[in-house]
Structure 1
Amino acid sequence: MGIFRRRTTSRRATGKDPVAAFWQWWADDGEHLLTTATRAGDFDAYVDVVTRRVKAIARGLEWETRAGTDAEHALCVSSGGDPSLRPIAERWYRASPPPTRRWEFIPARSAKPDMLDSTITYRGRTFDLSRTRVHVATTPAGYGFIVSVHNPGFTGQWDDEYGLCVLLLEWLLGEDDVERWVRRIDCIAYDVVDSIPASELPDRVAALARSLPEPGWLLMQGTLGGGETILVRVLRPLRWIDHPRFDLHTALRASFEADAQGLPTPESSEALDGFEDALVRAMGTRGMLVAVETSKGIRTFHFYSDSEDQNGRDVLDSAAREHPTVSARHVLDPGWKKVQDFA
């Protein structure tokens, strides 16, 4: 059995929204073309056509067709594990028409655990996936796993085999759950004593998910290099994949009257809390506050929102315009790297 994956390699600049153009093509010709070709098993009839349409949306997006869950077929446009592309795949999905009896649409590869019963050809080599085993270690923070993947066919050629390791985990968990729960993936040429059959990994993930507390705020205190106190309040778990459209980071910095430690006076604290509450209410579902830093007379609010939603950004820019002690700085940050030190 061969693996068919198609990754696009360029982006075409046009005056029209490429996502809207894709769905217009789908309504005009695409659905009929893919339905006919997929039923006939005639892949050559549509591969290049669909690739060109997906390529026009963004470089690096991947796509595939598969059997649907509630429809006959599913069309998946995927980021291929690239955080910078996941918001684009999500926008493609949110712009899709309602599912029909024939077609449904997904923005990330769903799990296909039956693939672990297969023997496949990957980059010219044959692998019996049923013999795959994994070693699973919980990360120190307790919110994910380090997963080491072993198959007897592995030879230590990591450039070739790492891609297969990722595929195996995507088939077991689904693309988004790999991002959600797997912090690191290692390929190992030799099995280890406490490994488990790969098919047991979904149960391990489900058990961890059940054991975690409800999302909430964690308060931390530390000392900066100059001896100043820093307070950090952060949302846990801090996972961008749960909010894939929120790719714009805004650091909203508010200066305040500080005490000797650089922390807010009681009056300043009350004013800052009221300011935060008003911001969160104004943002609503357009964005979210994920972390707050306080030190040396500055409180920094870390917000994420959809970079294509100007209204969300405007809420924060308005706050900066209306308060002379407040400034806003925006930067694209899919994957939430700006706040990973707090994770």
Structure 2
Amino acid sequence: MRIFKRRRSVVDPIAGFWTWWEETGAQLVADAIARKEPGSISGMLAEHVNAIHGGLDWELGPGLHAEHTLVVTAAGDPATRAVARRWLRSAPPSDHLWEYADLRRPSPEVTIQFEGMPPVASDDALVTIEPDERAAAVHVGVHHPVFAQVSEDVQRRITFLLLDLSLGEEMTETWIGAVETLVERPAGTVPISELLPTVAAFAAAFTTEDGNPTWRLLEGFVDGQRLIATTEVPLRSIRLPHLDTHVGVTIGYPAGREDGLPDAEMLDQLRNLEDHLTSRLGDSGRLLAHETIAGARTLHYYVDGSTPAPAQLEAATSGWPHGEVTLTTARDPGWQNLSHLGS
């Protein structure tokens, strides 16, 4: 009679992908591209990508610094972006043959072709551009002559493909706000080639000299109590897609002012605790906002849910002598827990 059973080893699907890729996959795919037969390996590559997560898409293209690039992307789904980013963070170093990305790069001046549909030349597109500093977004309208020949659903698909081709997936998701599909050409349109430099200049105004996002101060009242909040701008999860878990750390303190906010001495101690918590996370998390009201300061951290970051934050709060500290943790890949704070 068997008493002990051999335990099956569980293979991390991301590690499994890269093992296959380094052993045989990279050369097989490169050889297929060299023969101008990339379709011959599409089924095999799709099988290995889908083994990581069924919601991932992939594509091949020329590299910026290598001959080829392999892109594995969540295709706009916030719930899957963390998986794609973890795939990228586990990638081998780029070499002369391959480099890797988890977001689609700009590819202007191409022709989109759907089966049974007329070709769509991207450089025939026209756009309206409306910068909105308060929303930290650029609102756009997109017109293409082909829109009059296709259904509304196809119009929308083409619209977002044109934006991704012009700006790349990251810039589109980060900085584009409202999007309107324009069947009729309105006044004030410009060639879509003008969109990238306009959005890049707009984004620069929200970026510090060292490349970090700027912060915005917000003030208001909740149930008659004064509220002060500060947030990174913009609050868009595609910037840090691997940070898919919200940890709210609410720190009680004795209100030293009539409006319920901390006095100068207490504010220094709160900031010291904040620095201590942030330093414990390293690149496993980031403080994106905090709110202070009526004797409580809430720090909004987003962390990599595949790491022990939530437990690290909880351990680091022990010993705060000025009030109760509570933590709430929730998976939130779209950063919806910050939606009340704006952009």
Query: Which residue in 2 is equivalent to 1:272?
Result: 270
Stretches of structure 1 that go unaligned for 5 or more consecutive residues are: 1-13
Partner SS for 1:85? helix
Judge conservation of contact 1:73–1:104 (CA < 8 Å) in 2.
Answer: yes
Aligned partners of 1:102, 1:164: CA distance in 2, in Å? 32
Which of 167, 191, 199 matches 2:193?
199
Query: Which residue in 2 is equivalent to 1:27?
Result: 22
Judge conservation of contact 1:123–1:160 (CA < 8 Å) in 2.
Answer: no
Which of 317, 321, 342 matches 2:314?
317
Letter in 2 for 1:45: S
TM-score by length of 1: 0.87
Judge conservation of contact 1:320–1:328 (CA < 8 Å) in 2.
Answer: no
- Is 1:239 equivalent to 2:236 in the alignment? yes
Query: Which residue in 1 is equivalent to 2:84?
Result: 89
Distance change (3 Å), C-alpha of 1:158 and 1:91: same
Deviates more, 1:168-177 or 1:98-107: 98-107
Aligned partners of 1:165, 1:78: CA distance in 2, in Å? 19
Query: Which residue in 2 is equivalent to 1:107?
Result: 102
Distance change (3 Å), C-alpha of 1:216 and 1:199: closer
Query: Which residue in 2 is equivalent to 1:125?
Result: 117
Judge conservation of contact 1:37–1:45 (CA < 8 Å) in 2.
Answer: yes
Report the alpha carbon displacement of residue 206 of structure 1 after superposing the two structures with TM: 2.2
Query: Which residue in 1 is equivalent to 2:331?
Result: 332
Superposition RMSD on alpha carbons, in Å?
2.1
Report the alpha carbon displacement of residue 232 of structure 1 after superposing the two structures with TM: 0.9
Detail structure 1 runs of 4+ shifted over 4 Å in the superposition.
320-324
Letter in 2 for 1:82: D
Partner SS for 1:122? coil
Deviates more, 1:151-160 or 1:67-76: 151-160
Superposed CA deviations along residues 22-73 of structure 1, whole A, max 9, x for unmatched, are 0111122211221222222224421111111111111211001112222221
Partner SS for 2:313? helix
- Is 1:136 equivalent to 2:129 in the alignment? yes
Distance change (3 Å), C-alpha of 1:266 and 1:66: closer
Aligned partners of 1:307, 1:283: CA distance in 2, in Å? 12
Report the alpha carbon displacement of residue 273 of structure 1 after superposing the two structures with TM: 2.5
Query: Which residue in 1 is equivalent to 2:154?
Result: 160
Letter in 2 for 1:288: R
Judge conservation of contact 2:109–2:123 (CA < 8 Å) in 1.
Answer: no
Distance change (3 Å), C-alpha of 1:278 and 1:100: closer
Percent identity at matched positions?
31
Stretches of structure 2 that go unaligned for 5 or more consecutive residues are: 1-8
Distance change (3 Å), C-alpha of 1:273 and 1:69: closer
Query: Which residue in 1 is equivalent to 2:254?
Result: 257
Superposed CA deviations along residues 276-304 of structure 1, whole A, max 9, x for unmatched, are 22222333333221111111322111011
Query: Which residue in 2 is equivalent to 1:6?
Result: none
Query: Which residue in 2 is equivalent to 1:3?
Result: none
Aligned partners of 1:210, 1:137: CA distance in 2, in Å? 16
Aligned partners of 1:299, 1:100: CA distance in 2, in Å? 47
Deviates more, 1:54-63 or 1:151-160: 151-160
Judge conservation of contact 2:277–2:317 (CA < 8 Å) in 1.
Answer: no
Deviates more, 1:140-149 or 1:101-110: 140-149
Aligned partners of 2:68, 2:214: CA distance in 1, in Å? 39
Report the alpha carbon displacement of residue 320 of structure 1 after superposing the two structures with TM: 4.2
Report the alpha carbon displacement of residue 188 of structure 1 after superposing the two structures with TM: 1.3
Judge conservation of contact 1:257–1:265 (CA < 8 Å) in 2.
Answer: no
Which of 179, 202, 213 matches 1:185?
179
Superposed CA deviations along residues 119-174 of structure 1, whole A, max 9, x for unmatched, are x4225211233321011111251622111111111137332221211111111111
Letter in 2 for 1:335: G
Query: Which residue in 2 is equivalent to 1:10?
Result: none
| Corresponding residue pairs, total | 325
Aligned partners of 2:27, 2:216: CA distance in 1, in Å? 52
